[in-house]
Amino acid sequence: MGNRVAREDYEWVYSDQPHADRRKEILAKYPEIKSLMGPDLRLKWIVCIMVGIQFLAFYLVKDLDWKWVLFWTYAFGSCINHSMTLAIHEISHNTAFGNNKATWNRYFAMFANLPIGLPYSASFKRYHLDHHRYLGGDGVDVDIPTEFEGWFFCTRFRKFIWIILQPLFYAIRPLCINPKPISQLEVTNLVCQLTFNFLLYMLWGAKPVVYMMAGSMLGMGLHPISGHFIAEHYMFLKGQETYSYYGSLNLLTFNVGYHNEHHDFPSIPGCRLPMVKKIAAEYYCDLPQYTSWVRVLYDFIMDDTLSPYSRIKRKLKGDVKQE
């Protein structure tokens, strides 16, 4: 468990990300893919049901013994809260109400944020679009671990701890890599979330609040679904920047596993990404892919060639227009 990882730096490249060129090539060959773009009419109703389920869970856990609160926090709450973060990911691409109602999407994301407990939907939108536009961009893409993470989490045991602490690093990384002025929407998101958390505590006590907050932290840490954090862009094969996962957990995660397809066509909602793969199969079937996020987590920890440094990074050229 003490073996040190061989990598001492990121994988620096001097080429553009592959997704824009592949998008142009696919659209030239299959223009019908454009018809898949646009909002997912079911998304807002699915999110409302998920929020309602968590509200019901808040009520049900308030009278349970603490051991059962903790059990259901990991067994159920962590799954639905992580799924809700990926619903917010979908909404950040305006797939709930469409591009013409961008503000509706922003406030609906705050509504979806409520049962997560941590106010992050407004900030996520700002940084996530930069991630798509400047994938691997030095000083811009906050999905890339910091130098400290790459240097310190360099043994199997430390990588294990790093995965547990993923929510913490995703929260503080933007402040280290690419701090931005606080926006009015972020203030609104914070006030709404803190108000909701306070009212939940006053109405039903501490247990629902612990269930909510701990469920979010556990669900984004050492959890089968959190394997997608590593699977999406960590360089298991030299030179391969993005990977797709085609396993059953896509049913809980709005098809976020179709990650090559998503980066090629971010305006296509997750429910239609399998159709992209079906139409343009020759572009995706031969790319490296996963069938198990649990195996991804295990391999990342146990493979001494992999670490937080195992990311492709590039210096950006020209004007950088951020959100």
pLDDT of residue 255: 98
Percent of the chain scored above 70 by pLDDT? Answer: 98
Q: How far is CA 108 from CA 47, 130, 195, 255, in A?
A: 9, 21, 16, 20
For 13-72, write each residue's pLDDT tens digit: 999 999 999 999 999 999 999 999 999 999 999 999 999 999 999 999 999 999 999 999
Q: What are phi and psi of 314, to 5 degrees?
A: -145, 145
Using an 8 Å Cβ cutoff, are 78 and 223 in contact?
yes
Percent of the chain scored above 90 by pLDDT? Answer: 95
For 92-130, write each residue's pLDDT tens digit: 999 999 999 999 999 999 999 999 999 999 999 999 999
pLDDT of residue 155: 95
- Between strands 312-314 and 11-13, the pairing is parallel
Query: What does the DSSP 8-state code read for residue 40?
Result: -
At residue 309, does pLDDT exceed 70?
yes
Residue position matching structure tokens 């050492």 = 222
pLDDT of residue 323: 67
pLDDT interval class at 320 (50, 70, 90): confident
Quote the CA–CA distance of 271 and 250 in Å, as a whole number. Answer: 10
Query: What does the DSSP 8-state code read for residue 74?
Result: I
DSSP count for the chain of H helices, then E strands = 16, 4
Three-class secondary structure assignment of 139-201: CCCCCCCCHHHHHHCCEHHHHHHHHHCHHHHHHHHHHHHCCCCCCHHHHHHHHHHHHHHHHHH
**Angle CA(69)–CA(293)–CA(16) in degrees, nearest 5?**
125
Quote the CA–CA distance of 141 and 171 in Å, as a whole number. Answer: 14
Q: Give residues with Cβ within 8 angstroms of 217, minimum separation 6.
A: 167
Task: List the chain domain ranges.
Answer: 11-314
At residue 153, does pLDDT exceed 80?
yes
Coil, strand or helix at 289: strand
For 224-266, write each residue's pLDDT tens digit: 999 999 999 999 999 999 999 999 999 999 999 999 999 999 9
Quote the CA–CA distance of 194 and 189 in Å, as a whole number. Answer: 9
Looking at every residue in the chain, the average pLDDT score rounds to 95
Q: Give residues with Cβ within 8 angstroms of 111, minimum separation 6.
A: 47, 51
Quote the CA–CA distance of 102 and 115 in Å, as a whole number. Answer: 22
pLDDT of residue 317: 83
Quote the CA–CA distance of 263 and 80 in Å, as a whole number. Answer: 24
pLDDT of residue 7: 82
Within 10 Å of residue 286's Cβ, how many Cβ atoms?
8
pLDDT of residue 322: 73
For 57-87, write each residue's pLDDT tens digit: 999 999 999 999 999 999 999 999 999 999 9
Quote the CA–CA distance of 84 and 191 in Å, as a whole number. Answer: 19
Q: What token pair was written down for 55? A: 């509200």
User: Can you say how many angstroms the Cα of residue 279 is from the centroid of all Cα atoms in its chain?
Assistant: 25
